[in-house]
Amino acid sequence: MSRICVVGAANMDLISYVKRLPKMGETLHGSRFHMGFGGKGANQAVMAAKLGAQVSMVAKLGRDVFGDNTYENFRSHGIDCTHVLFTEEAFSGVAPIAVDEQGNNSIIIVTGANDLLSAEDIEAARPAIAAARILVCQLEIPLDTTIAALRIARQEKVITIFNPAPGTAGLPEELFPLSDIFCPNESETELITGLPVGSIEEATAAARALLDKGAGTVILTLGERGSLLVSRGHAEHIPARKVKTLDSTGAGDAFIGSLAFFVAGGKALPEAVRRANEIAALSVQASGTQSSFPDAADLPAGLLE
């Protein structure tokens, strides 16, 4: 079985649908409301678990209804919650979102308890990291906490997948050599390298700049164009199947969670990327984030073999 540890954020998305976005000081009536589980770490963990991986989550929640629901959501997907911690010092992370009839949105992210996940918490979770074949990290929790997790994985000889999202410039140089697989999207790559990624050739050059910083292998996700796999001496564009997109929210997390599953299961990187592309393409054909992620039983025959 694929054994994966995810260290990252868990949020609750609070989505209100309105005819138009409100002006300053204005109160509007909405047409409907939706609440969904989110946070990049949580999304990636759930995707891997849906495929059948044995997943451990390391996160921090507030002692509130959102935290309780998030914890139960993890449990319902069979995720090991030994290191999903609660705090009285902050609310769970939330993202109130307003969406108008044209699909435009305004979002306020309050990271809350995610900000209190500490390097000490990560050290306490060392056994969960050491027991995994893959560690997955992102940038929605404190940077020092993410680096602590990646360091432990390196000490314990665990393969690391680092997703530098949300994108930010000026990442510490130490992050790159700690990343066996460095997996940004187009905008994140441009932010980190300062280089364009408009064409496959430009994207390849930007990926090589990340290799020069010390990343082991770069997998650059290109949306509907698929993914670009670049290592020293090798570059391969792996296209995605053309599909009709209903909602692309969470597609990147579906890709990362699937990639971790296939790599942990021993697939070679080109094949792992091809299969993760396919699952991400399935996710954009349904609405929502975790609700759009396919279950193993819904996948085409052979995809999980």
Per-residue pLDDT of the chain (305 residues; tens, 9 = 90+): 789 999 999 999 898 889 998 998 999 999 999 899 999 999 999 999 999 999 999 999 999 999 999 999 999 999 999 999 999 999 999 988 888 888 787 888 899 999 999 999 999 999 999 999 999 999 999 999 999 999 999 999 999 999 999 989 999 999 999 999 999 999 999 999 999 999 999 999 999 999 999 999 999 999 889 999 999 989 999 998 888 887 777 889 999 999 999 999 999 999 999 999 999 999 988 878 898 899 999 898 889 88
Query: Catalytic one among 64, 80, 121, 253?
Result: 253
Compute the distance between CA of residue 250 and CA of residue 255 in angstroms, rounded to an integer.
Answer: 9
Provide the whole-model pTM. 0.94
Q: Which helix (H) or strand (E) holds 130?
A: helix 126-130
In this predicted structure, what is the pLDDT of residue 250? 86
Task: Return the SS3 of 8.
Answer: coil
Across 249-271, b (16+ Cβ under 10 Å) vs e yields: bbbbbbbbbbbbbbbbbebebee
State yes or no: is 253 an active-site residue: yes
**What's the pLDDT at 248?**
75
Quick one: pLDDT at residue 97? 85
SS3 assignment, position 268: coil
**What pLDDT sits at residue 101?**
83
Give the CB-side neighbour count of residue 156, counting CA atoms within 13 A: 22
In the DSSP assignment, the letter for residue 193 is H
- The structure tokens listed for 191 are 């932010």
The answer to whether the beta carbons of residues 162 and 179 sit under 8 Å apart is yes
Spatial separation of the C-alpha atoms in residues 104 and 106, rounded to whole Å: 7
Q: What integer pLDDT is reported at residue 219 of this predicted model?
A: 98
Distance CA 217, CA 159 (A): 11
Tell me the residue type at 78.
G
Domains of the chain are 3-10+39-91+113-162+240-298 (3.40.1190.20)
Main-chain dihedrals φ then ψ at residue 214, nearest 5 degrees: 120, -5
Could you write out the DSSP letters of every residue in 71-124? HHHHHHTT-EEEEEEEESSSPPEEEEEEE-TTS-EEE--B-GGGGG--HHHHHH
Predicted pLDDT at 134 = 98
pLDDT at position 112 is 97
